[in-house]
Amino acid sequence: MIDGHLCSNVIASQGDHARLGGVVPELASRAHLQYIVPVIDEALASAGVTKHQINAIAVTIGPGLLGSLIVGVSFAKGLALGLNVPLIGVHHIQAHVLGQFLQKPAPEFPFLCLLVSGGHTQIILVKSPLDMKIIGQTLDDAAGEAFDKAGKLMGLGYPAGPEIDKIAQTGTARYALPHPQLAGFDFSFSGFKTAVRNFLRDGIRENIEFLDQHKADICASIQHHIVAILLETLQKAVRATSITRISVAGGVSANSALRQELTHMGKKHGWDIYLPPPGISTDNAGMVAMAAWFKLQSEAFDDLSVKPMARIPNIN
Ligand code: KG4
Ligand code: ZN
């Protein structure tokens, strides 16, 4: 990133997880070790800069899988020390929220961010780049997990979200699933997996070909249901805060039904909706650089004692 503009955004995709049906922590950290040097070399080459032109190193410190975080943080510390430049530790969720600023127009502050990923489902009140507050979150599974678990029940690959999205394009959301009603701005998806399992079991009991014959409608119904839960709660948060600038971040923000229905809702209620381009919805380096760019302006640096953390309760 130069002057807040992204120059390269290299991602090493980890195909093994798809084959194994989920993220295997040990394989993920080994892959980080294997790819970290070539990925950095490629990022520098495609940005057309040398490592001596770098004036700060940013790295995700968590929350996430500890083994992978240890690889990234250790490497970043070595690089910052070797190049004698500041180290900036970035919160993964803060990076998703601020990744929105990689495109124009970006929302003015304050805004609400619906953060929907494989590990998190939150409504975040973003007061300024470095001042955010979680006002609602999932009590159990995340929205991405709901997609992935439903996909697993249907025998789809991992992650199932993009596949469900694709299959749903030709279907109609004609099956109803039970809808949890929660107070406040929290979410719950734990009953959802059981509901999908029971729904599929009942359908298959009556017709052995149920899943194959109605896959598009089933995917559309599952997708519509997850999106409805997200948007209902978001609507409550908008009403309560009177903040009508809304961004969406995290892997599930690539979902076409979520994007369409939120855009429609925005038009209906006069909200300003900020959707990330699909390339910056799922985890990427650009969003980490963007968050670090804001931290660089306020010289919010970390020293070499900063530790990777699997969980970080505070978002700032
Ligand atoms: O933010 P992300 O890349 O990684 C985490 O930090 O978790 O999110 C990954 C999640 C997965 O659960 C994946 O199934 C979901 O995002 N996802 C989608 C779509 N693309 C990715 N879910 C629904 N529709 C999509 N198009
Ligand atoms: Zn993420």
Q: How many whole angstroms separate alpha carbon 56 and alpha carbon 175?
A: 51
CA of 97 to the centre of ligand 2 (A): 10
Tokens (6 digits) for 128: 């300024």
What ligand is nearest to the CA atom of residue 256? 1
What ligand is nearest to the CA atom of residue 95? 2
CA–CA distance from 185 to each of 53, 73, 96, 128, 167 (Å)? 45, 33, 20, 21, 30
- Answer yes or no: is the C-beta of 64 below 6 A from any ligand 1 atom: no
Q: Is 225 exposed, middle or buried (0-12, 13-18, 19+ CB in 10 A)?
A: buried
Going by pLDDT thresholds of 50, 70 and 90, the confidence category of residue 16 is: low
What ligand is nearest to the CA atom of residue 23? 1
pLDDT at 15: 66
CA of 230 to the centre of ligand 1 (A): 14
Q: What percent of the chain has pLDDT over 90?
A: 86
- Answer yes or no: is the C-beta of 252 below 6 A from any ligand 1 atom: yes
Q: Nearest C-alpha to atom 13 of ligand 1 is from which residue?
A: 161
Q: Cis before residue 107, ω within 30 degrees of 0?
A: no
Please name which of 259, 20, 249 lies closest in space to residue 123, comparing C-alpha atoms. Answer: 249
CA of 23 to the centre of ligand 1 (A): 13
Residue 314 neighbours by CB distance under 10 Å:
8
Ligand 1 atom at minimum distance from 144 CA: 12
CA of 214 to the centre of ligand 2 (A): 31
CA of 288 to the centre of ligand 2 (A): 10
Going by pLDDT thresholds of 50, 70 and 90, the confidence category of residue 274 is: very high
Q: In terms of pTM, does the model score above 0.75?
A: yes
- Answer yes or no: is the C-beta of 63 below 6 A from any ligand 1 atom: no
- Answer yes or no: is the C-beta of 148 below 6 A from any ligand 1 atom: yes
The residues, any chain, with a CB within 8 Å of residue 313's CB and separated by 6 or more, are none
Per the model's pLDDT, the better-predicted residue between 238 and 191 turns out to be: 238
Ligand 1 atom at minimum distance from 142 CA: 12
What ligand is nearest to the CA atom of residue 17? 1
33-71 tens-digit pLDDT: 999 999 999 999 999 999 999 999 999 999 999 999 999
CA of 271 to the centre of ligand 2 (A): 25
124-138 tens-digit pLDDT: 999 999 999 999 999
Per the CB < 8 A criterion, the answer to whether 14 and 36 are in contact is no
* DSSP for residue 158: S
Per the CB < 8 A criterion, the answer to whether 310 and 63 are in contact is yes
150-171 mean pLDDT? 97
pLDDT at 160: 97
- Answer yes or no: is the C-beta of 161 below 6 A from any ligand 1 atom: yes
- Answer yes or no: is the C-beta of 219 below 6 A from any ligand 1 atom: no
Coarse DSSP helix, strand, coil percentages of the chain, rounded to the nearest 5 percent:
50, 15, 35
Please name which of 127, 272, 71, 143 lies closest in space to residue 79, comparing C-alpha atoms. Answer: 71
Q: How many whole angstroms separate alpha carbon 307 and alpha carbon 243?
A: 35
Q: How many whole angstroms separate alpha carbon 108 and alpha carbon 230?
A: 23
pLDDT at 24 over 90: no
3-state secondary structure 165-228: HHHHCCCCCCCCCCCCCCCCCCECCHHHHHHHHHHHHHHHHHCCCHHHHHHHHHHHHHHHHHHH
